[in-house]
Amino acid sequence: MFKFFYHYSSLRNFYFFSEKLMPFLITIFLGLIIYSLYGALISAPADYQQGDSFRIIYVHVPSAWMSLLVYMAMGLSAVSVLVWRVKLAEITLSAIAPIGATFTLAALVTGSIWGKPMWGTWWEWDARLTSELVLLFLYLGVIALLRAIDDRRTGARSASILCLIGIVNIPIVHYSVEWWNTLHQGPTVSKFDSPSIHIDMLIPLLTMTVAFMLYFIIISLYRIRSAILVYDKETQWVKDLITSSKREQI
Amino acid sequence: MRTDRSNWNTLFILVRRDVLKTWRESADLLYPIMFFVLVTILFPFALSPETLVLRSFAGGLLWIAALLAMSVSLENLFKTDYSSGALEAIVLSGVSLLLVGLAKAIANWVLSGLPIIILAIPLALSLGIDTFSLSILLLSLTLGSATISLIGTSIGALSVGLRSAGMLVIVLALPFFIPILIFGAVATSNSQTGLIPEAELYFLAGLLVLTVTLTPWATASAIRTRLG
Amino acid sequence: MAAFLSMGGYAAYVWSSYAITFGIMILLYVHTKRQGEKHLRWLRRHIVTRDNEK
Amino acid sequence: MRNSLEVKSLSVERSNRGIIKDLSLSLTEGHLVHLKGANGSGKTTLLRALAGLIGPAQGGIFWNEKNISESLFSQSRLNYVSHSLGLADELTTFENLSFLRSISRKALNKTVEASLETMNLKSLKDCRVAILSAGQKQRASLAQLLMFSCPLWLLDEPFNSLDAESCNVIESLIDDHVSNGGIAIVASHQKFQSSTVQQVVELQ
């Protein structure tokens, strides 16, 4: 198994391997997005309490899940940077940090928009939203550190260390915010706990999340591939690739 | 290869050297203390002079001021050692970097954590905190400031020598201080309402134990990375 | 159709959240593609200048 | 057992630019290497890579056939004196050197007083490094070479800001080290007056 990873962790192989993968990913992603949008906006029945404003869940919850998933992916590449010194992981870490930040931002904005019809205020210090806000600052911290260091290798290693410190802190922040939230407002069911929702409502949620995952993979592959070309700019295979005229875009 | 020197002894030597170094340059010692007092003084101007109002916020105010004052002192933890090459000499001397990370955190705590805890007494009384919750405040500050020093040292080691490292270290470190702030401030405000805040103090102690075991590793690899 | 657009009276909220989420995602896609092309142009110039030096 | 330092097709990167490209070296005991090259040609980068501070992009550095990046980051084998001298300004010369000596894992050689003696810095023992002149600071930092007995010496511009008389002292130190079986790699613009240089490495 390790042989497989080692083979594909050489940048050149990964570049051409991901090139073959790209068309499949894009077609599946487009199909899923259209299906999930149809499911979310049309076929899912309106919620008896919140009416149609409930449909925001199909955008808010997948983004929130993805923001956490991307940070876990960053943690994995951070470990492989520090422990196994995988060059591809250094590139992956710097490539996916902004993607995670956008998902977190989307989750925050949609969360506060959803809060307006439900509680009448644009921002509610709900435990889940507050942890999401702290997660955004963890992302911005990693991005700021990556920008502050011009040397790519030490930059990736320093950002990996910060990312691992962040990973350890995510559960701590989550539970301390829960504690703080229930302490001040009493133990109410968190507004965002989706009650055991009807199967028709659940399917679009899952397919939308899978679509978001595909989106994440596609965008990070684009960013990783262009970073690989810059990283191996001195090598022969990049020279041949660039000088061959047919290569217009990645 | 000499290994007779016991780790505790090396740790003591490292801490003594850092404290002595900063003590000689005593200007750096004053910044956290003055910052802590000034920030705490600002609140009565902003909120209201009556101690009744201030008392209800006192725990939170003091904790925020202490937290900010300690993160101010994080910048020049490694700065002078890094620029003078002393950090490089220490790394090349073969001493285990875990000890260096731990020693830096202890030195930072002694130089900025301790004065803040001592100064918190008069400030807390001026904000109208009664003696029982003052004791809780001091206990929570002790535990919390040690955790802040440990995490702050790792983040400081990560951003040493970078452009505007001072601001960077504060921006990077504050999200990690949120849990400490929550439990610290809640412990004090609970004690003001007569409750015994055991749970919060246990959490703070738990956080301290976690950071003592984990952060030296992060500091060690951060130092080695930054020197690379 | 009008009923669908009104979203049971929450049209503003639902449509704005969808617009913002997919808007950010599209913006990120466009930014990534443009940056990719910028890297490519830089690489072409870099390789051409390096060959002339040799 | 003869110590050996092997550098196999080493290339090192500094802020995304290849500084050292495909360098190979093979040194054994009693070897003095004079590292020459214009500014920014990678002299300091090479010394830092040999000291194990920087990881190589390609190739490897082997000390007694053991790759230095794998082996525990043990610095007991080398004395590295860089042009950022490693002395804290607020502490006195004596405090700095005795601190380094007390925490070091390296085999000890001379005491702090004796090393300062040879560097004739005895009189400046208790004054703060901040007020020392550049030459005095350089000599104080070079005193580390005497305090520890290490087979490998890596010296980065040891002669700049030193007067002629101190240069001789340093050169004689290097000669003694090399003659009784040490390896020394010295990066410097000035030519060696007396010592016999086995190998000159020119970096572009």
In a domain, residue B14? The reply is yes
Domain count for chain C? 1
- Determine the Cα–Cα distance for residues B89 and D137; give it in Å rounded to an integer: 14
Q: Please tell me which residue of chain B has the smallest CA distance to A141.
A: B172
Residue A180: other Cβ atoms inside 10 A? 20
Considering only CB atoms, which residues of chain D are within 8 Å of chain B?
Answer: 51, 53-55, 73-76, 78, 80, 82, 84-91, 95-96, 99-100, 102-108, 128, 144
Q: Please tell me which residue of chain D has the smallest CA distance to B5.
A: D103
Cα D2–chain centre separation: 20
Domain count for chain D? 2
- Determine the Cα–Cα distance for residues D114 and A134; give it in Å rounded to an integer: 56
Could you report the per-residue pLDDT of A3-52, keeping only the tens digit for each? 555 555 588 888 888 999 999 999 999 999 999 988 888 887 777 777 77
Q: B40-50 in b/e burial notation, b at 16+ Cβ within 10 A?
A: beebbeeeeee
In a domain, residue B2? The reply is no
CB B208 within 8 A of CB B147: yes
- For residue D79, list its beta bridge partners: D153
Given this model, what pLDDT does residue B1 score? 45
Cβ contact, residue pair B85, D100, below 8 Å: no
CB A134 within 8 A of CB B174: no
In a domain, residue B72? The reply is yes
Chain B residues 61-80 with a CB less than 8 Å from chain D: 80
A229 Cα to chain B: minimum distance (Å): 24
In a domain, residue B48? The reply is yes
- Determine the Cα–Cα distance for residues B152 and B146; give it in Å rounded to an integer: 10
Given this model, what pLDDT does residue B62 score? 93
Count of A–C CB contacts within 8 Å?
Answer: 97
> Confidence band (pLDDT; 50, 70, 90) for A186?
low
Task: State the residue for tokens 């894009």.
Answer: A26
Cβ contact, residue pair B2, D104, below 8 Å: yes
A1-5, A96-100, B80-84: segment of lowest average pLDDT: A1-5
Pair (D72, D1) in one structural domain: yes
CATH number for the domain harbouring residue D43: 3.40.50.300
Given this model, what pLDDT does residue D81 score? 82
Q: Which of A108-117, B114-123, D65-74, D108-117 has the highest mean pLDDT?
A: B114-123
- Determine the Cα–Cα distance for residues B97 and B221; give it in Å rounded to an integer: 8
Tell me what ipTM this predicted complex has: 0.90
Cβ contact, residue pair A53, C25, below 8 Å: no
Q: Please tell me which residue of chain D has the smallest CA distance to A150.
A: D15
CB-based contacts of B2, cutoff 8 Å, min separation 6: D104, D105, D106, D107, D108
Cα D113–chain centre separation: 21
Pair (D71, D48) in one structural domain: yes
Those chains having 3 or more beta-carbon pairs within 8 angstroms of chain A are B, C, D
Cβ contact, residue pair D102, B13, below 8 Å: yes
Contact residues on chain A for C15, CB-CB shorter than 8 A: none
Cβ contact, residue pair A134, B178, below 8 Å: yes
Pair (D163, D188) in one structural domain: yes
| B228 interfaces chain D, CB cutoff of 8 Å | yes
| D17 interfaces chain A, CB cutoff of 8 Å | no
CB-based contacts of A248, cutoff 8 Å, min separation 6: none
Pair (D11, D72) in one structural domain: yes
CB A99 within 8 A of CB A70: yes
DSSP state, A190?
P
Return the closest-CA partner of residue A19 out of A244, A241, A243.
A241
In a domain, residue C34? The reply is yes
Pair (D198, D166) in one structural domain: yes
Cβ contact, residue pair B222, A177, below 8 Å: no
Pair (D155, D145) in one structural domain: no
| B226 interfaces chain A, CB cutoff of 8 Å | yes
Q: What angle do CA B48, B52, B55 make, to 5 degrees?
A: 90
Contact residues on chain A for C25, CB-CB shorter than 8 A: 102, 106, 215
D22: left (phi over 0), alpha (psi -120 to 50) or beta: left
Q: Please tell me which residue of chain A has the smallest CA distance to B165.
A: A148
Q: What angle do CA D31, D32, D33 make, to 5 degrees?
A: 115
More confident residue, A120 or C54: A120
| D16 interfaces chain A, CB cutoff of 8 Å | yes
In a domain, residue C3? The reply is no
- Determine the Cα–Cα distance for residues A24 and A22; give it in Å rounded to an integer: 6
State percent of chain A over pLDDT 70. Answer: 89
Distance between the two ends of chain D, CA-based, in angstroms? 34
- For residue D23, list its beta bridge partners: D10
Pair (D129, D180) in one structural domain: no
Mapping DSSP onto H, E and C, the string for chain D reads CCCEEEEEEEEEEECCEEEEEEEEEEEECCEEEEEEECCCCCHHHHHHHHCCCCCCCEEEEEECCEECCCCCCCCCCEEEECCCCCCCCCCEHHHHHHHHHHHCCCCECCCHHHHHHHCCCHHHCCCEHHHCCHHHHHHHHHCHHHHECCCEEEEECCCCCCCHHHHHHHHHHHHHHHHCCCEEEEECCCCCCCCCCCEEEEEC
Given this model, what pLDDT does residue B202 score? 94
Domain hosting residue D92, numbered range: 85-149
- Determine the Cα–Cα distance for residues B145 and B139; give it in Å rounded to an integer: 10
Cβ contact, residue pair A151, D55, below 8 Å: no
The last residue of one of the domains, among D149, D174, D192, is: D149
Pair (D51, D93) in one structural domain: no
Q: What is the mean pLDDT of residues D97-124?
A: 86
Given this model, what pLDDT does residue A192 score? 55
Chain C residues 1-54 with a CB less than 8 Å from chain A: 4, 7-10, 13-14, 16-18, 20-22, 24-25, 28-29, 32-33, 35-37, 39-40, 42-44, 46-47
Pair (D95, D137) in one structural domain: yes
Cβ contact, residue pair B91, D144, below 8 Å: no
Domain count for chain B? 1
Contact residues on chain A for B222, CB-CB shorter than 8 A: 158, 161
In a domain, residue B74? The reply is yes
Q: Do chains B and A meet with 3 or more Cβ pairs nearer than 8 Å?
A: yes
Cβ contact, residue pair C40, A249, below 8 Å: yes
Could you report the per-residue pLDDT of B148-198, keeping only the tens digit for each? 999 999 999 999 888 888 899 999 999 999 999 999 999 998 888 888 888
Pair (D106, D10) in one structural domain: no
Could you report the per-residue pLDDT of D31-83, keeping only the tens digit for each? 888 888 888 788 888 888 888 888 888 888 888 887 777 555 555 677 888 87
pLDDT at A200 over 80: no
Alpha helices in chain C (DSSP H): 2-6, 11-53
CB A91 within 8 A of CB A237: no
Could you report the per-residue pLDDT of D17-29, keeping only the tens digit for each? 778 888 888 888 8
Could you report the per-residue pLDDT of D133-185, keeping only the tens digit for each? 988 898 888 888 888 888 888 888 888 888 888 888 888 888 888 888 888 88
More confident residue, A71 or A12: A71
Domain parsing of chain A, residue ranges: 56-243
A95-99, A219-223, B134-138, D151-155: segment of lowest average pLDDT: D151-155
- For residue D28, list its beta bridge partners: D4
- Tell me whether strands D58-63 and D66-67 are parallel, antiparallel or unpaired: antiparallel
Cα C42–chain centre separation: 20
